[in-house]
Amino acid sequence: MDFSFVLSPTGTHTIGKQFDFEAGHRLPGLPPEHKCSHQHGHSYQVEVILTAPALEEPGFVTDFGALAPFKKFLDTELDHHNLHEVLPFEPTSERLAQFLAGWFIQNLQPTIPGRLVAVCVRETGRSWARFDVEGQ
């Protein structure tokens, strides 16, 4: 079958890649009776969402393999750590998503063609927080 007649619409390409890590934390800013004020842990899932107005050869927003330094950062700095001990803020999912967006933009984005749109941090299968980057 000849598909040469199918026109490609204009638009933006978007990709996402999920990563995971295990970590504990507590939120000492909460009242003592709140369950999250006590030490507990999560199997975190982090998704980075990137976009590009044009594709890089052979047809990528960003090669998924180029995101490996982000996974290495998660593994070495956050995995199996108490987040409230290693991060300079109270580690809510919202603040963690913003922090990870900042790390990504500062350390990885200069080396890849795609631009970060958002970071989503999922604590459980039903609870998540998303930070949307402005001006990218």
Residues with active-site annotation: 36, 80, 123
User: Please, which residues bridge with residue 16 across strands?
Assistant: 49
Residue type, 17: K
